[in-house]
């Protein structure tokens, strides 16, 4: 199975899985990069997975339907282009012979879902939309810090080698923020240099892995003493993980 990050808009990725003949895409905000890839690689489109309702994740769905020979899957509790197969936590999706479990990850939007590959060891796939970014997390447009903390905790508990397929190339700016939160985190500093080199060559910094994110992503590290102290210095309302996450998110919003 091949995994491609198709660049879209200024900093989105549309993830495409294909086996040389059949493809599925995740969060096609724009149809054009998907149609280009289908034509270039002579692929048939067998499914679309959507994580949440925002236009930069759904805007290409209707234009892709004429090429689609399978379902559009999306979150049951959000309005995405109809018709689609509505999914809730615990549902299972089969595409291209792969199995994904649906996990509710509210916070960025109220009904946001993530797709977690099942039965894949090593290096299962996670499609997490705008919930978990490398070294960051999505803005809290429709959810609370407590919801985001619970959502990120679910993702952070996945196998360390899980490949994290986020929908935006925000890694360098997130790492700049993370380095401010944890100036003494050497893993973070090393990874930042690595990502700067990748971006200088025009390469994606993704997919990341859960194990790496647990070491560099401040939003997954809300109980680390250095992160708690940094959040306290920014006026966190207490030392609970939710208070720390809330303070980090506010700080990042104005960073
Ligand atoms: Zn979004
Ligand atoms: Fe987005």
Q: What are the tens digits of pLDDT across the range 127-175?
A: 999 999 999 999 999 999 999 999 999 999 999 999 999 999 999 999 9
Confidence of residue 35 (pLDDT cuts 50, 70, 90): very high
Q: Is residue 125 part of a domain?
A: yes
Query: Closest Cα partner for 215 from 181, 180, 188?
Result: 188
Nearest bound ligand to the CA of residue 9: 2
Confidence of residue 20 (pLDDT cuts 50, 70, 90): very high
Q: How far is the CA of 229 from the centre of ligand 2 (A)?
A: 30
Confidence of residue 120 (pLDDT cuts 50, 70, 90): confident
Q: How far is the CA of 184 from the centre of ligand 1 (A)?
A: 31
Instruction: Give the model's pLDDT for residue 122.
Output: 86
Catalytic residue set: 52, 54, 56-57, 108, 130, 168
Distances (CA, A) of 250 to 49, 89, 121, 235, 247: 30, 28, 37, 10, 5
Distances (CA, A) of 29 to 9, 12, 58, 218, 229: 8, 8, 5, 28, 38
Q: Report cis status (omega within 30 of 0) of the bond before 122.
A: yes
Contact 208, 15 (CB under 8 A): no
Q: At 89, which CATH number?
A: 3.60.15.10
Percent of the chain residues past pLDDT 70, beyond the cut: 100
Phi and psi at residue 212, in whole multiples of 5°? -65, -45
Q: From CA 57, how far away is CA 36, in angstroms rounded? A: 17
Nearest bound ligand to the CA of residue 52: 1
Q: How far is the CA of 130 from the centre of ligand 2 (A)?
A: 5
Q: How far is the CA of 156 from the centre of ligand 1 (A)?
A: 20
Q: How far is the CA of 175 from the centre of ligand 1 (A)?
A: 20
Q: Is residue 93 part of a domain?
A: yes
* Helix extents (H) in the chain: 32-40, 55-58, 61-64, 145-156, 171-181, 186-200, 210-216, 225-233, 241-254
Name residues whose C-beta falls within 8 Å of residue 9's C-beta, 6 or more positions apart in sequence.
Answer: 29, 30, 56
Distances (CA, A) of 107 to 37, 72, 141, 163: 32, 23, 7, 21
Q: Is residue 229 part of a domain?
A: no
Instruction: Give the model's pLDDT for residue 224.
Output: 98
Q: Is residue 19 part of a domain?
A: yes
Q: Residue with structure tokens 């379902």? A: 71
Instruction: Give the model's pLDDT for residue 160.
Output: 97
Instruction: Give the model's pLDDT for residue 221.
Output: 98
Nearest bound ligand to the CA of residue 56: 2
Q: How far is the CA of 186 from the centre of ligand 1 (A)?
A: 30
Range of the domain at 143: 2-217
| Residue 214 CA, distance from chain mean position | 14
Torsion of CA 119, 123, 124, 128, to 10 degrees: 160
Q: Is residue 232 part of a domain?
A: no
Name residues whose C-beta falls within 8 Å of residue 77's C-beta, 6 or more positions apart in sequence.
Answer: 88, 110, 111
Q: Is residue 233 part of a domain?
A: no
Asked whether the whole model's pTM tops 0.95, one would answer yes
Mean pLDDT of 34-58: 98
Q: From CA 163, how far away is CA 209, in angstroms rounded? A: 5
Instruction: Give the model's pLDDT for residue 184.
Output: 98
Q: How does pLDDT run across 166-201, given as a tens digit for each residue?
A: 999 999 999 999 999 999 999 999 999 999 999 999
230, two tokens: 């940094």
Q: How far is the CA of 200 from the centre of ligand 2 (A)?
A: 23
Q: How many separate domains does the chain show? A: 1
Q: Is residue 68 part of a domain?
A: yes
Q: How far is the CA of 225 from the centre of ligand 1 (A)?
A: 30
Q: From CA 236, how far away is CA 5, in angstroms rounded? A: 36
Nearest bound ligand to the CA of residue 110: 1
Nearest bound ligand to the CA of residue 139: 1
Q: Is residue 104 part of a domain?
A: yes
Instruction: Report the DSSP pairing between strands 125-129 and 132-133.
Output: unpaired
């Amino acid at each position: 199975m091949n995994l491609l990050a198709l660049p879209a808009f200024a900093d989105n990725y549309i993830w495409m899985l294909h086996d040389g003949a059949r493809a599925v895409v995740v969060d096609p905000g724009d149809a054009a990069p998907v149609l280009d890839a289908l034509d270039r690689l002579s692929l048939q489109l067998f499914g679309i997975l959507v994580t949440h309702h925002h236009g930069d994740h759904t805007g290409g769905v209707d234009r892709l339907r004429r090429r689609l020979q399978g379902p559009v899957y999306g979150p049951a509790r959000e309005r995405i282009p109809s018709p689609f197969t509505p999914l809730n936590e615990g549902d299972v999706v089969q595409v291209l012979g792969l199995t994904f479990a649906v996990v509710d990850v509210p916070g960025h939007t109220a009904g946001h879902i993530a797709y977690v590959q099942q039965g894949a060891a090593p290096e299962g796939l996670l499609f997490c939309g705008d919930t978990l970014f490398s070294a960051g997390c999505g803005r809290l447009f429709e959810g609370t810090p407590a919801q985001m903390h619970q959502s990120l905790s679910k993702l952070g508990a996945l196998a360390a080698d899980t490949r994290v397929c986020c929908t935006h190339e925000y890694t360098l700016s997130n790492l700049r923020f993370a380095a401010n939160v944890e100036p003494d985190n050497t893993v973070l500093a090393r990874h930042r240099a690595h990502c700067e080199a990748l971006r200088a060559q025009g390469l994606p910094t993704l997919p990341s892995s859960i194990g790496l994110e647990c070491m560099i992503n401040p939003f997954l590290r809300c109980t680390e003493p250095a992160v708690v102290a940094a959040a306290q210095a920014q006026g966190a309302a207490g030392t609970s993980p939710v208070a720390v996450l809330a303070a980090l998110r506010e700080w990042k919003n104005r960073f």
